[in-house]
Each structure stands twice: as structure tokens, then as C-alpha cells.
Copies of this chain bind each other. A is one copy, B any other.
């Protein structure tokens, strides 16, 4: 039975990626797309690559009719979701792709996002959307808060290791390489091709990147104690993809075994044979995450490298995976699209 779907914020990259995935999803039927600044326009004028699809025109959020809707994907900018989601009828399920409901602790939210949270009651109902670790809660949830794309990548590398106690929790270093689409479609000087081609640029270093709030929350939950990772993000001359290189203290063989066991039955998370290193393009435009583990000539050190596509597994693919569960569908429905290489 087709599920009636609306996408709020369809004019952004994660909105367009949702449409791309749903275009070949067996059960989802897009009945509404909102895009405030583009309201009244056909989706094909905002994203001509979707020209072949019969899609509803963009409307404003106010025009959205919730009757008959099964689920709304909310791909609005950060801070906007808080204002909008509380007014969605309870009968409609919601997957939020913004940062607004990821942090359970209102003080943590205020610290990382610089202002108090405006929908504290709703926040209490949100399930953190990292499917592989919250599958049961998501299955029964009405409201799921999608994770940060970088936070997802790092957690796939770390959470099983933290849970298993096989690495030193006080010495976790993460070197992040991130493509530009994670920063969205809004025009900013430092995201221009002129600026970034042939360039790599560190940013938000020194413990200031907002996704650290998610790491703090989820790693503490996995460890049963506070964990403070180090993270240095670098912007890449590429449009899609994330590589997270994690420098860990622990026995590399045990690290590999732990990760391999944790993801043995997962459809989307693939741990490579010990010593093999993943590359970013191998998961491009797909819902897969590849993880490699290697030891070092320095004993007791393991390097774990995880890669995924920020717009797919890091955001819109993850959202569809969660929606599948929430709607009682096969978790992988519509998501087995193979990566695009080269």
C-alpha cells in the first residue's frame, strides 16, 4: 500500500536527495513539497535533474494539507524545524533532518547552538535516528531526529568499540574530510568552486564543531561515562562524501573483530577485511558505509577509517531507512541503489 509522503524544505540538497531516492522507492508517494522561497514553482525549475518525475509544485508550509499524510520528512534549516514540527498533527509521523532535535539535553543544545531550545516537550519524544543503534525505538516511533552526517560517520566507526571497551576512551582523535554539499546550497564565499578547487581547508577545529554535541551524547551513552573526542574537520574539493579517519588506542585485531561482529548482519555497513582501506567514491550516492581498520608499527594503535555519502547515508538515505521502519516496511526498501563509480 503506498504511503503518502510530504517533504518540507524540498528546495535544499537533502530535500532533493529525498526526492531522488523516493523516485524509485516501491511504496512512497510524494503528495506535497514545500519550499518557502520557491513556493509556486515546479520542482523541475529548482532542480532540473528531477524533470522526468511527476511531482507536485512547491508550496509554502502554510499551504500544506496534512490530511491523508502518513509521514513528513522535515528538511528545513536548523532552528526552523523547532517552530514548524510542533504544529504537525500527531497522526502524521515525522522524520526531521535538521539539527534541532538531536540533542536530548536542553543545556547541551543551548551550548552548541547558541540559544535555548524552543520545543522542549517535543524534544522529549524524539528518537535519535542512527538506525543501526536505535532500530527498536525507531520502529515504534512517531518522531525521529536524523543525525548529523559527520556525527553518523564517526559513530559508525566508534560506537561498537566504545560499547565493547576495546579502546582508550580518553584518547580518541578524529580527522574529518568533508565534501561541500554538507554545507547546503546557500551561497557562501568559502564554498565557491573558485575558492575550493585545488584546496583543502580546516575549519571548526579545536573542539568547536557542533556535531561534537552528538558525539558527547552518544558516546557517553555507549560508554556509561563522559567521553570527549578530538575532531578536526577539513573541507574538500568535492561535492559529496565524508571520510573520517579515527586514531585510536587499542589492539587493532580486536578493533577489527569488534566492528566486524557489530555489523555482521547490517545491510548497509560494510567492514572491509583487516588492512584494507576504504575510499570515498565507493559509497557515492548510496546508503552504504564502508569501514576499514589497520594497525600501526606503533603497537597498540589502531586506525579506523569510515566513509559514507553525507547526503545519502548521512542524511536523506538514513531518513528513508528510518521512515521504512516507522511505517512497517522493509528497512532496505528503495535503498539498495548501488554506488555510482567512477
Contact = CB atoms under 8 A, between A and B. Distances in A.
How many copies of this chain does one complex carry?
4
Given A194-B239, A206-B297, A177 B282 contact: no
B199 A280 contact: yes
A290 B48 contact: yes
7 smallest beta-carbon distances between A and B, as pairs: A207-B297, A199-B281, A201-B279, A49-B339, A187-B187, A175-B175, A23-B338
Interface stretch (A63-71, A91-99, A119-127, A240-248): A240-248
Nearest to A276: B48
Contact of A270 (B51, B285, B307): B51
Interface in A169-226: 171, 173, 175, 177, 179-181, 183, 185-189, 191-203, 205-208, 212
Given A241-B200, A294-B206, A338-B52, A189 B187 contact: yes
A53 interface: yes
Contact of A238 (B173, B197, B283, B336): B197
A1 interface: no
A133 interface: no
Interface in A277-300: 277-286, 288, 290, 292, 294-298
A206 B275 contact: yes
Interface residues of A, number: 91
Interface stretch (A82-90, A155-163, A229-237): A229-237
A2 interface: no
Interface in A323-342: 336-342
Interface of A: 13, 16, 19-20, 23-24, 47-53, 171, 173, 175, 177, 179-181, 183, 185-189, 191-203, 205-208, 212, 228, 230, 232, 234, 236-241, 243, 245, 247, 267-268, 270, 272, 275, 277-286, 288, 290, 292, 294-298, 301, 303, 305, 307, 336-342
B205 A294 contact: yes
A260 to B, nearest CB: 14
A48 B201 CA distance: 12
A23 B228 contact: no
Contacts of A337: 23-24, 337
A150 to B, nearest CB: 14
Nearest to A190: B187
B202 A292 contact: yes
B177 A177 contact: yes
A322 to B, nearest CB: 19
A303 B205 contact: yes
7 contacts: A51-B272, A52-B336, A185-B192, A199-B280, A200-B279, A232-B247, A337-B337
